Structure 1
Amino acid sequence: MLISYILFALGLIFMIKGGDFFVDEATWFARLTGLPEVLIGATIVSLATTSPETTVSILATLQNYPSVAIGNAIGSIICNTGLILGLYHLIRPNRIDSRIFKYKGLMMLGYICFFWLSARKGYIDHLSGLGLLLLLIVYIIFNLAIVKYKRSKKRKVRIPSKYSKKEASKHFLLFVFGVGLILIGANLLVTYGVKIANSWGVPEAVISLSMIALGTSLPELTTAITALVKGHDELALGNVLGANILNIAMVIGLSASIRPLIIQPNIFLIDIPVALVLGSILVVPTIITKRINRIQAFLLLSGYAAYILALFLFIKY
């Protein structure tokens, strides 16, 4: 067991360092293109930080562990919203001026509702999976349209003269290196986190909704921490919104397209509604006040803590 704990810690180190590279290069790209950080966070950064969830859920589907595939995705949304954004904005509440937040926030809630309705029959079939992948295409087209609109407002978008092709290549390689560290770290955390949890006798569904979800959400967490230290608030927010959307549309969509996924009753009755409630606490007041305050952050964090406590003590799977 000692090796499991050592490799688990090594995975955490890789994740933290990878997140450092990741945020630096993503914000460099944002400055280079002139695009808003919230948009960069919701596209490039969220696509990369959702890679662990995608990998874990697809592998779980192929190995016929549907509760792990679903629990990982829904648990990650709950972790991203409740733990990561709750902690982030408890430390630093801030104003949200971007209209992009409104569109992305409502899109996130809409996607969760669509998944919830699709799961009412007790499973997600191939058709529902394809429907989620269609929503993924809509999300990608939506982001491309925003990029095109932002660029149309500029006469010409080009690499500033102070950035050479060599400099751009260096930043790109560091970005890829950061992604690699995050993915390796996530794999170590999930693999050995599950081994440690199994040695404690924790049920599979609980592991996927808590330990695995937390492990695969660590890229978002480390990215958010690094963004907090470096003062890139909208990058962290955009990353979480984008990651939550991708957890529904891409992670579950791809998994269900491979093999129908059975939805356990408590996942439908408890876990998906919890994700929707936490998302509503984040999105609705922020659209009205154009600000994420500490009361919201406290509600998100305490909601996550109560959910995890109930998961281990009261909810039976």
Structure 2
Amino acid sequence: MSEFVVLFAVGLLLLAVGSTALVLGAARLDRATGRSAFAVGLVAVGFGPCVAGLAFDLAAVLHKLPRLAMGNVIGGNIASIGLVLGAAVLVRPITGTAKLFATAIPLVIVAALLFWFLARDNKVERIEAGVLLVAGLGALALLIHKARQESEPVKAEFAAWVPNRLSMWTAGGLVLAGLGALIGGAVLVTTNANETVRRLSLDSHRLGLVSAGVMALPALVAAVCAARRGRSNLVLGLAVGPALFNLLLVVGTVAMVRPLLVIEGAILNEVPAMALFTLLLVTPLANGLRVSRGEGAILLVACAGFVAWQVTKK
């Protein structure tokens, strides 16, 4: 295997590990300021998994690789729903109880359709980025309002996500180490992306799609652990939250820095596939936030099929 491919893969792993360290350390420091553990945990679960993708996308557009970034956006949402939720439910079926998902899941569907509409001309310019950012902030405000109505057991479940046992020194070290890993990973990814594209015979868009699966590994591990402990709301949060904020806040932020490009044909292929994965969330919404092993298997097989399609297509 080419050294460029190896270095690209190392960069992806650094982004995944660095984002996890940064989120955990930042959550502990944020909790020390007096903010409620529920609020800190909710943000960490909903937005934490997006950090690696945000660093990846920003580095890509700054190095004039906008199609790599767009591929990662689409792949990230498919991984959140197909891989993270699907694999976690195979370990143990879940039944969510948090009221905010009755709002969050429709918001994800609306976000996917909005993204599809704004990117219909194969690019996301700064004007469209502004629309996504405004929509993202509006969705965040609405979810915060809904979260205040949650029951104490639900709040305790999200609060348990905060690593309260970490010392402040350890938390600070995790933040610094996480930032360093994110920067190093972003540099490795962007400096080796072009050669990796040539060696693997993938265009940059498809490389971004596949890369998203690697960076979703921390969320996958966290969701599986949460499922084993019976924390259904955390599992749903790790799937639904990143899918929502990735399309609105991450894409909006990145496209403000530099417009994003979608390869020709993706609006008729990969983006509809992403929207279809999002629409699969209607089933748990209609079934009282229950997701069975059979439904998890469908999600996982669909995700594997999507990856195989991207890797093998000409």
Indicate the residue corresponding to 2:245 in structure 1.
246
Once the two structures are superposed, the pairs formed by residues 39-58 of structure 1 within 5 Å of their partners are 40-41=41-42, 43-58=43-58
Once the two structures are superposed, the pairs formed by residues 93-112 of structure 1 within 5 Å of their partners are 93-112=93-112
How many angstroms apart in 2 are the aligned matches of 1:20 and 1:227? Answer: 18
Once the two structures are superposed, the pairs formed by residues 1-317 of structure 1 within 5 Å of their partners are 1=2, 5=6, 8=9, 12=13, 15=16, 19=20, 33=36, 35=38, 40-41=41-42, 43-150=43-150, 169=168, 173=172, 176=175, 180=179, 183=182, 187=186, 190=189, 194=193, 198-210=198-210, 212-281=211-280, 283-290=281-288, 291-314=290-313, 316=314
Go from structure 1 to structure 2 and tell me whether the alpha carbon gap of 1:17 and 1:136 turns closer, same or farther (over 3 Å shift).
closer
The share of aligned pairs that are identical, in percent, is 21
CA contact (8 A) 1:133 1:254 kept: yes
What's the offset of the Cα at 1:271?
A: 1.1
* One-letter amino acid of the counterpart of residue 60, structure 1: A
Go from structure 1 to structure 2 and tell me whether the alpha carbon gap of 1:22 and 1:117 turns closer, same or farther (over 3 Å shift).
closer
How many angstroms apart in 1 are the aligned matches of 2:279 and 2:63? Answer: 34
What's the offset of the Cα at 1:143?
A: 3.1
Q: Deviations over 1:224-244 (max 9, x none)?
A: 244345543322320221111
Q: Deviations over 1:46-68 (max 9, x none)?
A: 32321111111122222222211
CA contact (8 A) 1:186 1:219 kept: no
What's the offset of the Cα at 1:23?
A: 7.0
How many angstroms apart in 1 are the aligned matches of 2:274 and 2:301? Answer: 14
How many angstroms apart in 2 are the aligned matches of 1:292 and 1:25? Answer: 31
How many angstroms apart in 2 are the aligned matches of 1:114 and 1:35? Answer: 30
CA contact (8 A) 1:123 1:261 kept: yes
> What is the DSSP-based 3-state SS (H/G/I as helix, E as strand, rest coil) of the residue aligned with 1:265?
coil
How many angstroms apart in 1 are the aligned matches of 2:306 and 2:188? Answer: 22
What's the offset of the Cα at 1:14?
A: 8.9
CA contact (8 A) 1:122 1:262 kept: yes
CA contact (8 A) 1:20 1:223 kept: no
Alignment gaps of 5+ in structure 1: 154-164
Task: Figure out how many residues of one structure are paired with residues of the other and give that number.
Answer: 298
What's the offset of the Cα at 1:72?
A: 0.8
Indicate the residue corresponding to 2:155 in structure 1.
none
> What is the DSSP-based 3-state SS (H/G/I as helix, E as strand, rest coil) of the residue aligned with 2:202?
coil
CA contact (8 A) 2:109 2:279 kept: yes
> What is the DSSP-based 3-state SS (H/G/I as helix, E as strand, rest coil) of the residue aligned with 1:285?
helix
Alignment gaps of 5+ in structure 2: 153-163
> What is the DSSP-based 3-state SS (H/G/I as helix, E as strand, rest coil) of the residue aligned with 1:214?
helix
Q: Deviations over 1:38-97 (max 9, x none)?
A: x934x2233232111111112222222221121111111011111111111122111122
Query: Which stretch shifts more, 6-15 or 217-226?
Result: 6-15
How many angstroms apart in 2 are the aligned matches of 1:296 and 1:214? Answer: 20
* One-letter amino acid of the counterpart of residue 295, structure 2: Q
CA contact (8 A) 2:122 2:263 kept: yes
Taking structure 1 as the reference length, the TM-score comes to 0.77
